[in-house]
Amino acid sequence: MGKNIDEKDVVLKVEHLVKRYPVKKGVFGRAKSYVHALEDVSFELRRGETFAIVGESGCGKSTTGKCVLRLTEPTSGTVYLDGEELTALSGAELTRARQKMKLIFQDPYSSLNPRMTVADIIAEPIDIAGTYKTREERDARVERVMEAVGLDLSYKYRYPHEFSGGQRQRIGIARAIALVPEVVVCDEPVSALDVSVQAKVINLLERLQDELGLSYVFISHDLSVVKHIADTVMVMYLGHAMELASADELFSNPLHPYTQALLDVIPRIADERIQDKRILQGDVPSPTNPPSGCAFSTRCPKCMAVCRERVPEKFEVEPGHACRCHLFDESLSEAERQFVAGKEA
């Protein structure tokens, strides 16, 4: 039996999520190695808030989203949705619980069925859930949802290919919110759109959040979008949650050398007082063969001896501001603090 939690303002709670994808190799197709996609990721999403996950390509953002939705099974770890242990459910119970959580995809071109009309695409989750007894109620709901996302009702019987990227993303959003879920996982929802359209879709997501009380997990590599929309931000690197803080705190006081390097890449939001630019050097190591110690140690400009040896714990540097970095470990010895070059040893 799952353990249920009672924390009213926390709608989604993720504890110690680990995901290793087996890599099939060899004649018999047995898993010889694993992609370490997620290593001990924990976070909470409060009701009505936006929790952003940022980091470079391949750091595990989408995998986090998929594990949370149980579209892929986590190797270990626990997910609570609305106080209920989602990772302990199966079958009809899982289907019911999962109604409370929806996904908005990056690519509005491939995520909509080209053979279905706009009305049927939006109605599909409503029909599956069997929410409405009569056709009239169901159709009325579809129209209300279309209006809510700014789609003209004359589009009802058109097909996805007749629309622009922004309009298609509105259709995807309408489908996701048709039954007013608790949580929406938005995986790069505007990355595929023209910059001019991005702001409109972001504004729509924010308006829907206010009107419907939605909570978002917002996955993005675009820090300027995240700075605008997020309440809380988690920075990921090679499957690890490196830093977690409120958006205000993270952007004004980044603590992890990786976060600092990420922010430096974006001149618009970099702190002008930072003179020594800490531009990221070297490649991200392979997640099938991650470095020993801290995942960022091979690229870190502040790498110390201990960083090659041990995975850093999560230090709560200030209330609500956590950082996985040995720099914040006050118990280190002189030898452990010894500076080493942030390149391959």
Binding site for ligand ATP (CB under 6 A): 21, 35, 37, 55, 57-63, 221, 287
Q: What minimum distance in Å lies between the beta carbon of 16 and ligand ATP? A: 17
- Residue 21 interacts with which of ligand ATP, Mg ion, none, CB < 5 to 8 Å by class: ligand ATP
> Are the C-beta atoms of residues 263 and 269 closer than 8 Å to each other?
yes
- Residue 35 interacts with which of ligand ATP, Mg ion, none, CB < 5 to 8 Å by class: ligand ATP
220 touching Mg ion, by CB under 5 A:
no
Q: What minimum distance in Å lies between the beta carbon of 260 and ligand ATP? A: 20
Nearest residue (CB) to ligand ATP, 62 versus 232 = 62
- Give strand pairing partners of 173: none
Nearest residue (CB) to ligand ATP, 82 versus 243 = 243
- Residue 294 interacts with which of Mg ion, ligand ATP, none, CB < 5 to 8 Å by class: none
Nearest residue (CB) to Mg ion, 220 versus 297 = 220
Tell me, what amino acid is at 273?
A: R
CA atoms of 207 and 119, how far apart (whole Å): 22
CB neighbour list of residue 231: distance below 8 Å, 6 or more residues apart: 46, 49, 50, 51, 246, 247
> Are the C-beta atoms of residues 9 and 174 closer than 8 Å to each other?
no
Q: What's phi and psi for 328, nearest 5 deg?
A: -100, 10
CA atoms of 30 and 17, how far apart (whole Å): 24
Q: What minimum distance in Å lies between the beta carbon of 132 and ligand ATP? A: 35
Largest Cα–Cα separation, the chain: 74
Q: What minimum distance in Å lies between the beta carbon of 65 and Mg ion? A: 8
CA atoms of 179 and 212, how far apart (whole Å): 10
Q: What minimum distance in Å lies between the beta carbon of 235 and ligand ATP? A: 12
Residue number closest to Mg ion, CB atom: 62
**What is the DSSP pairing of strand 232-237 with strand 240-246?**
antiparallel
Tell me, what amino acid is at 87?
A: T
Nearest residue (CB) to ligand ATP, 265 versus 305 = 265
- Residue 221 interacts with which of ligand ATP, Mg ion, none, CB < 5 to 8 Å by class: ligand ATP
Site of tokens 């109620």: 137
CA atoms of 310 and 288, how far apart (whole Å): 18
Nearest residue (CB) to ligand ATP, 151 versus 234 = 234
- List the x/- string, 315-344, binding to Mg ion by CB under 5 A: ------------------------------
15: enclosing H helix or E strand: strand 10-25
Q: What minimum distance in Å lies between the beta carbon of 251 and Mg ion? A: 22
User: For residue 252, which of 263, 267, 237 has the smallest C-alpha distance?
Assistant: 263
- Binding-site size, Mg ion (CB under 5 A): 2
| 219: its two tokens | 């996955």
Tell which positions 7-66 bind Mg ion, by CB under 5 A: 61-62
- Residue 37 interacts with which of ligand ATP, Mg ion, none, CB < 5 to 8 Å by class: ligand ATP
Nearest residue (CB) to Mg ion, 54 versus 295 = 54
Task: Point out which residues bind Mg ion (CB under 5 A).
Answer: 61-62
